[in-house]
């Protein structure tokens, strides 16, 4: 991403504008509503969301009237160019000059919102030692990031296209006897060769009975003829994640697993039917879960139906029996029912949807049928 002359906006090589100033203003409005003096943003994804910075060392302090970005000398040139035409003040620390704790003490701020899931204990103790009251800003940031703008949806869609093509290309090279780890490596290499920054998470390739492990990472197990293989994979493009799950059959369709796939597809369609603005997230989960329960596999579907997707692979909203909140236009999340039979195998199908003004749009395009590969 490079700097354009338009104040507060960055333009990437595709010509897509990101108005970070608008995002900061939305956060400042939320601080006003919640009577919080400032928000100390420490999670890399939230920092990137608010100012575009993607280095490994950076903290953003957003008060009701200003914003200051803190980093160290290693990233000073990058951060300076990134923030040059914005209203975000840049403060660079070195081994001899200042620290975040010094800057916070000098700010005089007394009620600071933090992302408690990303704040270190040492920094929290230092702030409290200065007499600062720490309050949660986790939900504030989660809800801001949950509503995707046009550019974010475009980036997620591109990440999906890359992952989908990489999957199709990889299937043409999978052979009986290949270790799961080797297949995962091929898939991840192909995603990067197609323009992905990196995998969004460690790709899951789980064959045979191992497919019953919902998050069974790829192992050195060789893929056997007659086995089902579960793929769960995704990549990052311009920081945004994709996340998909599909199954394939080696040498022929497994009748028992195919029956489970049809139930899972029916459950996914039931969830699709209720997705629209205003619907409780638990209602969406319940629509799919009811189908699986009625088929007699309720105890074999032990995870939530889905999760928000964006700069993090797991974001708000959480689509599960314990989820909170209602769907809003602009939310992007996964719909991934599954059934897992210990010692036998498992089936999960995962797609990505965007909530629209009247329903939803399916962002993923990958065929849901169980592909059959030759032995």
Beta strands in 79-166 (DSSP E): 88-93, 111-114, 133-136
Residues 126 and 226 in one domain: no
Co-location of 189 and 254 in the same domain = yes
Tell me, rounded to whole angstroms, the distance of Cα 2 from its chain centroid.
24
Is beta strand 59-63 parallel, antiparallel or unpaired with respect to 38-41? antiparallel
Distance CA 107, CA 1 (A): 31
Alpha-carbon gap, residue 180 to 302, rounded angstroms: 24
Q: Is the pLDDT of residue 4 over 70?
A: no
Q: What is the pLDDT of residues 164-221, one digit of tens each?
A: 999 999 999 999 999 999 999 999 999 999 999 999 999 999 999 999 999 889 999 9
Contact 48/24 with Cβ under 8 angstroms? no
Query: Domain of 242?
Result: 150-373
Shared domain check, 107 and 182: no
Domain with 342 in it: what CATH number? 3.90.230.10
Using the 3D structure, point to which of 96, 125, 144 is the last residue of a domain: 144
Tell me the pairing of strands 111-114 and 133-136: parallel
159 lies in the same domain as 246: yes
Question: How many separate domains does the chain show?
Answer: 2
What pLDDT digit, counting tens, does each position of 108-160 carry?
A: 999 999 999 999 999 999 999 999 999 999 999 999 999 999 999 999 999 99
Q: Which residue's structure tokens are 């920081």?
A: 239
Q: Which of 113, 144, 175 is the last residue of a domain?
A: 144
Cβ atoms of residues 348 and 307 within 8 Å: no
Q: Which of 82, 111, 144 is the last residue of a domain?
A: 144
One domain for residues 271 and 176: yes
Residues 68 and 164 in one domain: no
Span 5-27, pLDDT tens digits? 233 444 443 334 578 889 999 99
């Amino acid at each position: 991403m490079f700097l354009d002359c338009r104040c507060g906006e960055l333009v990437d090589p595709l010509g897509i504008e990101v108005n970070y100033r608008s995002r900061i203003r939305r956060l400042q409005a939320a601080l006003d509503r919640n009577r919080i003096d400032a928000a100390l943003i420490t999670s890399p994804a939230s920092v990137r969301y608010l100012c575009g910075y993607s280095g490994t060392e950076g903290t953003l302090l957003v008060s009701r009237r200003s914003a200051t970005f803190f980093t160290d000398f290693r990233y000073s040139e990058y951060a300076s160019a990134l923030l040059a035409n914005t209203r975000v003040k840049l403060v660079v620390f070195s081994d001899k000059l200042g620290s975040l704790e010094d800057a916070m003490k000098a700010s005089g701020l007394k009620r600071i919102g933090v992302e408690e899931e990303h704040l270190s204990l040492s920094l929290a103790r230092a702030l409290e030692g200065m007499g600062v009251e720490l309050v949660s800003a986790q939900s504030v940031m989660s809800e801001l990031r949950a509503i995707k703008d046009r550019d974010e949806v475009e980036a997620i869609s591109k990440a999906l296209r890359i992952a989908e093509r990489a999957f199709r290309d990889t299937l043409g090279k999978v052979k009986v006897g290949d270790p799961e780890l080797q297949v995962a490596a091929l898939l991840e290499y192909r995603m990067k060769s197609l323009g992905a920054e990196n995998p969004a998470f460690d790709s899951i390739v789980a064959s045979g009975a191992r497919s019953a492990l919902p998050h069974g990472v790829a192992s050195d197990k060789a893929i056997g003829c007659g086995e089902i293989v579960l793929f769960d994979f995704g990549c990052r493009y311009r920081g945004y994640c994709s996340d998909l799950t599909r199954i394939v059959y080696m040498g022929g369709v497994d009748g028992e697993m195919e029956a489970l796939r049809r139930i899972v597809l029916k459950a996914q369609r039931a969830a699709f039917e209720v997705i629209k603005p205003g619907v409780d997230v638990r209602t969406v989960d319940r629509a799919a879960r009811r189908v699986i329960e009625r088929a007699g596999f309720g105890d074999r579907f032990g995870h939530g139906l889905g999760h928000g997707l964006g700069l993090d692979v797991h974001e708000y909203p959480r689509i599960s029996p314990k989820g909170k909140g209602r769907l809003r236009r602009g939310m992007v999340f996964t719909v991934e029912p599954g059934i897992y039979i210990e010692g036998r195998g498992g089936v999960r199908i995962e797609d990505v949807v965007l909530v629209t003004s009247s329903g939803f749009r399916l962002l993923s395009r990958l065929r849901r049928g169980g592909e059959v590969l030759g032995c």
